[in-house]
Amino acid sequence: MTTPKTGCPLEKLNDLTPLSATTTCPDPAAAYQRLWTDWGGPVAAVELEPGIPAWLVMGYRELRAVVRNEQHYSRNSKNWRLLADGHIGADSGLAPIMFPRDNAYFSDGATHRRLRAPLVDGLARISEHRVARDVGETCDRLIDRLPADGQLDLVAQYAAQVPMLTVAGLFGIAPDLGDRLQTCVIALFGSGEDSAERFHEMETILTGVINEHHTAPAEDLTTAFLHHPCHRDDGEVLASMLLMLGAGWETLQVWIAQTLRIMLTDPRFDGKVRGGHLGIDDALDHVLWADPPMANQPTRWALTDTVVGGQRIARGDALILGLAAANNDRWAGAHDRHDPGNRAHLAFGVGPHACPAQRTSRIIARTAVETILHRLPDVRLAVPATEIPLHPSPWTRGPARLPVTATRALGQATPVPSPRSTEAPPNR
């Protein structure tokens, strides 16, 4: 392990810990603590992929200070020195989530506010009751495809399927096209050889959806985006749709899978399920605190030479937001984090770029968990809890597989979950 070298350029540091060491290990708190100790504070250098370093911000206070300071920290990767210098190839696995695109996510200041407004306004207009009903129906359709009894993988056969189909549903996209978009997004984030082709296919599908909505408007996000005064043309609508589908996909998958995992393995939550007193909101909140879906969130780029958490940061350096580490930092109020309703966690980010879909994604995640537990009344984990493999990503931490045995209940009407406690915490 390299000791901190004040003033040494990030790219000159050797033997850095890979960021994925924090997400693929059994004890992430210990991994973050090691980094904190090795680097003498809440900001440590890590490796994103071989030869590509970045700073990981692990302190609750430091992280909030960085994301609220748009003058010094940009969301736009055009400010990334290593990218501008040609250090990072176009085929890098970092491309899907760190290379610049013209959308709200990669914008700053006034452009960001303009491009974010349709997302916030569109989501605010959706009826929570309708989302819960549509999501429940989508989940029921997925469950109807499962074998009637035997062994299942709740990740591949359920948690991984729900997000794309339900977010596509918000845009009025039919389930068969949602399935197609799912295949494309997997190829895209897997950075496989066909990722450019699949991205083009996504654009073609969504352009078709936009054209249909021009002639036949509906009560959905596509129509809201098309009519929003802040979108200047169909190209910007397309960019916002691609952003929403990409942003909701893996985050929701991991949130649903992690919640199912703890409900099947943690006696506190398991007892509630078996006792008929469902603690699904408690379980969802527990995951957001203890194991947030985006454990390490990309990225801010320093616009000036500066100091954060005692480390010298050079202009153009990348800073990764260590949301999981910061949630468990003592400043996060970790002592009272299981108090009902305490949502001071950073799982959805904070500041101007905080997730605009907090309310909607809670309805989706809660409905997905509630529906599968209702339809698989005797569901049991098929492997010891310690043998659940983890998804190999530096960004998210969640089960790669969740093998269970279950008998599917047939012909039961799934109750429409009530859209309670969906208020989003303020963007602190």
Question: Which one of residues 205, 257, 308, 347 is an interface residue with ligand HEM (CB under 6 A)?
Answer: 347
Burial level of 98, CB count in 10 A (0-12/13-18/19+)?
Answer: buried
Could you tell me which residues come within 8 angstroms of residue 208 by beta carbon, excluding any fewer than 6 positions away?
A: none
User: Which part of the chain contacts ligand HEM (CB under 6 A), choosing from 82-90, 206-214, 342-350, 415-423?
Assistant: 342-350
- Asked whether 159 and 402 are in contact (CB, 8 A), the reply is yes
Question: Which one of residues 42, 122, 178, 349 is an interface residue with ligand HEM (CB under 6 A)?
Answer: 349
Q: Angle at Cα 171 formed by Cα 371 and Cα 107, nearest 5°? A: 110
* Coarse DSSP helix, strand, coil percentages of the chain, rounded to the nearest 5 percent: 50, 10, 40
Residue 255 in contact with ligand HEM, rule: CB under 6 A: yes
Mask of contacts with ligand HEM, 8-47, x by CB under 6 A?
----------------------------------------
**DSSP per position, 267-300:** HHHHHHHHTT---HHHHHHHHHHHS-SBSSEEEE
Residue 356 in contact with ligand HEM, rule: CB under 6 A: yes
Residues 69-128 that bind ligand HEM (CB under 6 A): 104-105, 116, 119
Q: Please report, for the chain, how many H helices and E strands are present, in that order.
A: 15, 11
d(Cα 216, Cα 206) in Å, to the nearest integer?
Answer: 15
Question: Which one of residues 117, 354, 373, 400 is an interface residue with ligand HEM (CB under 6 A)?
Answer: 354
CB of 44 to ligand HEM, least distance (A): 19
* Other beta carbons less than 10 A from residue 350's beta carbon: 24
Q: Give the strands of the sheet with 43-49, arranged side by side.
A: 17-18, 43-49, 52-57, 318-321, 297-302, 73-74
Question: Which one of residues 17, 161, 222, 361 is an interface residue with ligand HEM (CB under 6 A)?
Answer: 361
The residue among 235 and 377 lying less far from ligand HEM, judged by its C-beta, is 235
CB of 180 to ligand HEM, least distance (A): 18
Mask of contacts with ligand HEM, 275-314, x by CB under 6 A?
-------------x---xxx--x-----------------
Q: Give which of 397, 393, 355, 306 is closest to 74, Cα–Cα.
A: 306
Question: Which one of residues 355, 372, 388, 406 is an interface residue with ligand HEM (CB under 6 A)?
Answer: 355
Find the distance separating the first CA and the last CA of the chain, reported in whole Å: 35
CB of 138 to ligand HEM, least distance (A): 13
Residues that bind ligand HEM (CB under 6 A): 67, 104-105, 116, 119, 167, 243-244, 247-248, 251-252, 255, 288, 292-294, 297, 347-349, 353-357, 360-361, 364
